[in-house]
Amino acid sequence: MHIDDIEVIAVVGGKGTRLYPLSLNISKPIIDMCNIAVLTRMLEPLVNQGCRKITLASKGYDNTAQLNKYFKDGEAFFSRLGINTKEEFRYQPNYADKGSADSVRYCMDYYNIKDEILVIGGDNIANIDLKGLISWHRKKNALLTVVLKELDAEEDVTQFGVAEADGDLKIHRFVEKPRAEEAPSRLINAGIYLFSPDIIEIFKEMGDRVRDIGGDVMPYLTQKGYPVYGYLLNGYWTDVGSPGRFLRTTLDILHGKIKNVVVLEHNVDENRWIHPTTLTRNSGLARVNLGEHVLIGRECTIGDGVKIKDSSIGHTCIIGENSIIENSVIMSFVNIGKNVRLNGCILGRFTTVEDGSVIDADLNVDYPGDPLERVPVIGGGGVRIVKNSIIGPWKRVAPIKESYRILSTGKFVELGMDGENIYFTNK
């Protein structure tokens, strides 16, 4: 069997609450990462190695309608990567699955899938050697191979499922989000799974217990003694489901750290990608100070004296004179006033930041939060940050109309409100 025989099922049914407010009014898989949907960034490494059969497994009207509108039959996706194929994207029908495993089971049955199935989640981008994974899976005659990533000693394992495995990487159990002292290893579940076609029989055996892959299927398989193995991922891996990790991954793309993931815009030089319409509109950006690792999309207007480095700018943005943008993500249709300073932040679509404002992750604020998640995030559609505002680390801003939706998740704490916005942070 060749790689192009592998069936890829992307389980993208989550609500994306960790990314609030960016995902309040747009499905998480199609939030732009370097001006391309984040799901595209997840699929690129797989397709560039030969995968062609792709099923998008989402549920609910909003998620599925937005995905279908964006990707359609996949022709534009494949064309952008220079791939000529007769294969078309498939979608999970209107089925309210009970979790990732139930979604995979339903899609296998609906599309009569009888080949090996590569399942990816909606939060992970990885440089995975597919030939190596498939070869290992078959060599071990595994029913399920779970891609594992070994975290460095300074990295926190408590946010992941951690594998207990022997020297041959046969998995005996997973401990979900253990205390650091109780973690059986540094090997975490990377959210990528290769199933043998026989898994459909196990799903039948499990009946109504087929819900989540990590929570239900893997414990069942290991307890019953089925061959479940780990495959150690030596390349790049990241979880993009939180603002801090989303920003870090964007910068990694701009720095060329992710193999098989490319920035396809007009190259000014090796480390700068500027769309031709933006160059024309701004006389070649002669009066703009462009540092390295900068992406700027279509039809942007950029004022004199603006400084930009290590940042991704979306399409149709307006940036006022003498503003500074560093280590940031600016999505499409954002207006930035004059003398604004942005550092280490994310601005969602249709945000307006008025003159003299500062949004900076490095401001000195004493707060016991995850250092990676210092990223200020503005989003939710139409947020206006008034003149001379100062927004520091860990703060998120959304339209006040979204207050109940945000706070009812139980994951956030309100910091305050004004006439237009709610300010909040992680619990």
What integer pLDDT is reported at residue 265 of this predicted model?
A: 60
Opening angle at CA 375, ends 374 and 378, nearest 5 = 135
- In terms of Cβ atoms closer than 10 Å to its own Cβ (0-12, 13-18, 19+), residue 61 is exposed
Encoded amino acid at 77, one letter: F
What integer pLDDT is reported at residue 13 of this predicted model?
A: 80
What integer pLDDT is reported at residue 157 of this predicted model?
A: 84
Cα(73)–Cα(331) distance, integer angstroms: 25
Residue 179: its H or E element: none
Question: What DSSP string runs through 316-375?
Answer: S-EE-TT-EEES-EE-TT-EE-TT-EEES-EE-TT-EE-TT-EEETTS-----S-GGG--
What is the DSSP pairing of strand 187-195 with strand 144-150?
antiparallel
What integer pLDDT is reported at residue 264 of this predicted model?
A: 66
What integer pLDDT is reported at residue 181 of this predicted model?
A: 86
Whether this prediction's pTM lies above 0.85 is answered by: yes
Task: Supply the DSSP symbol for 208.
Answer: G
Cα(425)–Cα(427) distance, integer angstroms: 7
Computed over its alpha carbons, how large is the radius of gyration of the chain?
A: 22
Opening angle at CA 204, ends 177 and 132, nearest 5 = 55
What integer pLDDT is reported at residue 365 of this predicted model?
A: 86
pLDDT in tens, the chain (427 residues): 588 889 999 999 878 899 999 999 999 999 999 999 999 999 999 999 999 999 999 988 989 999 999 999 999 999 988 999 999 999 999 999 999 999 999 999 999 999 999 999 888 899 899 999 999 999 999 999 999 999 888 788 888 889 999 999 999 998 888 888 888 999 999 999 999 999 999 999 999 999 999 999 999 999 999 999 999 999 899 989 999 999 999 999 999 998 777 776 677 788 999 999 999 999 989 999 999 999 999 999 999 999 999 999 999 999 999 999 999 999 999 999 999 999 999 999 999 999 999 999 999 987 877 888 999 999 999 999 999 999 999 999 999 999 999 999 999 999 999 999 999 999 8
Domains of the chain from N-terminus onward? 3-239 (3.90.550.10), 265-426 (2.160.10)
Pick from 276, 277, 258, 256: which is nearest to 268 by CA?
276
What's the sign of the alpha-carbon dihedral 42, 136, 13, 370?
negative
